[in-house]
Amino acid sequence: MKRNNLVYLIILALFWEVTAMILDSPQLMPSLVAVFKTLYLELVKGKLWLYSLYSLLSILIGLAASLVLALGITILSTRFLWVMDFFQFLNTLFHPLPGIAILPLLILWLGVGYEAVIFLIIHSVLWPVLTNLFTALETFPKTLSMVGDNYEMGLVRKFVFLYLPGIMPQFIAGVKTGWARAFRAVISAEMFFGAIGATGGLGWFLVKKRAFMDTTGVFAGIVMILVLGVIFENIVLKGLENKTTVKWGFKS
């Protein structure tokens, strides 16, 4: 974490504590000490780990499926322009469509189950990733593509060795957006559907805490979501950036 971020975190913590003191109502705004105490107790019990792992598993499966689809569509788009045109048209239609809006349809088609959650994540992730990849393709130097043709590279080989390094910054940016939207989608679905599977996820954890008017527990669940997001971005995505865009000189 950057030093500036640590300073901002301290400022936010002080603001939180001052607000809690002014309101003087744990039901509205509990203190940070109370929130982290609840978070610790929930982690020690073990159930919060299960909720978190269940949500993360759903997110990673949906995110992986979305990235495979997006890369497959992009590979075909390097050879067939109509593929890009078609999916740009679909992107125009479906990208603005909130995932929560299609939940009633998913219930009718797939029922209240794990498949509906995965489908919702794919819908939430695929379109922003495709937007970034298509933008990168449109600005990709045609001379590099012609080099691949001169060396008679196959479709996949040409994409891996020529296109992918050039569009990697936009791809990583798309993954960042997709990760955030996947997390929103899975939490929304879990809060809408309730418990799915053996335990349910973090969305179901928040619903249960809200039902019992446990404001501290709700904040503890939100903090858990924030921590998971920060860990993924600073370890997984940062590591991917260091091994690609930073190593190749696209980013300092």
For residue 37, CA distances in Å to 30, 106, 136, 239 come to 11, 38, 46, 31
How many of the other CB atoms lie within 10 Å of CB of 35? 23
Nearest residue to 131 via CA among 79, 179, 170? 170
Is the distance from CB of 43 to CB of 49 less than 8 angstroms? yes
- Cα distances from 86 to residues 28, 30, 237, in angstroms, run 49, 51, 30
114-138 helix and 81-94 helix, angle to the nearest 10 degrees: 130
Q: What Rg value do the Cα atoms of the chain yield, rounded?
A: 22
CA distance 55 to 60: 9
Say how many residues make up the chain. Answer: 252
Do the Cβ atoms of 91 and 177 come closer than 8 Å? Answer: no
pTM confidence score = 0.87
> Tokens 């709700």 correspond to what residue?
218
Question: What residues contact residue 154 under an 8 Å CB cut-off, 6+ apart?
Answer: none
pLDDT in the model for residue 67 = 94
pLDDT digits (tens, 9 = 90+) for 17-31: 999 999 888 888 899
According to CATH, the superfamily of the domain at 32-246 is MetI-like (1.10.3720.10)
Residues of the chain short of pLDDT 50, as ranges, are none
Helix (H, G, I), strand (E, B) or coil at 194: coil
In the chain, what are the domain boundaries? Answer: 32-246
Per-residue confidence (pLDDT) for residue 70, from 0 to 100: 95
DSSP state of 60: H
pLDDT of residue 219: 94
**How is residue 112 written in tokens?**
């209240």
